[in-house]
Copies of this chain bind each other. A is one copy, B any other.
């Protein structure tokens, strides 16, 4: 079968299809770039209605990237998907604590998920951060708690955990907090959604660098 092999041509054709399927007036131009990346990653147009940006999230994310702040992910899988070279070009490190020995130990001792332990561990460091939670509602619940208690003030929270137990509720909680956030309302979400959002923000930051 004949098929497109050129990466650029594939991407162009794909975004042509996506552009036609998205309701544009729900989002700003920059938000739309993020939304399109998520639809591209999932082939699921429902995300274009479910994504919610709060408290100047896109602007906050771009500024945090340009400031070289770290990105902390809830899973190694999310970490593996983020464009590391592009992040590095801004001095941004991409980190994940969940497979560390400390996280395993804490999870076992307290009978909590490793993702939750990873968030607790990352909060011990006071540097500014972007949090990316694409998998575990428990991690987002814990992060919400830490934010409410004034123990963490994230530059941005990409809160898109997936699942039938707690995911929806953890995201509803997050959007009520006074921090910049990007969520997918409802049960849907997932690591590729989280990764697509961060990679879109990295591209937007890169584009601004070119314009300036």
Contact = CB atoms under 8 A, between A and B. Distances in A.
Interface of A: 1, 3-7, 10, 13-14, 17-18, 40-44, 75-77, 79-81, 107, 111-113, 116, 137-138, 141, 144, 162-167, 169-170, 173, 186-192, 195
A3 B170 contact: yes
Contact of A14 (B4, B116, B164, B173): B164
A187 to B, nearest CB: 4
B77 A5 contact: no
Contact of A18 (B80, B111, B137, B164): B164
A165 B17 contact: yes
B164 A195 contact: no
Contact of A1 (B4, B79, B163, B173): B173
A3 B173 CA distance: 12
A191 B191 contact: yes
Contacts of A116: 5
Given A14-B163, A77-B81, A191 B188 contact: no
Contact of A190 (B4, B42, B170): B42
A44 B14 contact: no
B80 A162 contact: no
Given A4-B138, A43-B162, A79-B80, 8 more contacts: A1-B144, A1-B169, A3-B169, A5-B116, A10-B165, A14-B163, A40-B163, A43-B167
Contacts of A6: 111-112
A136 B10 CA distance: 10
Nearest to A7: B113
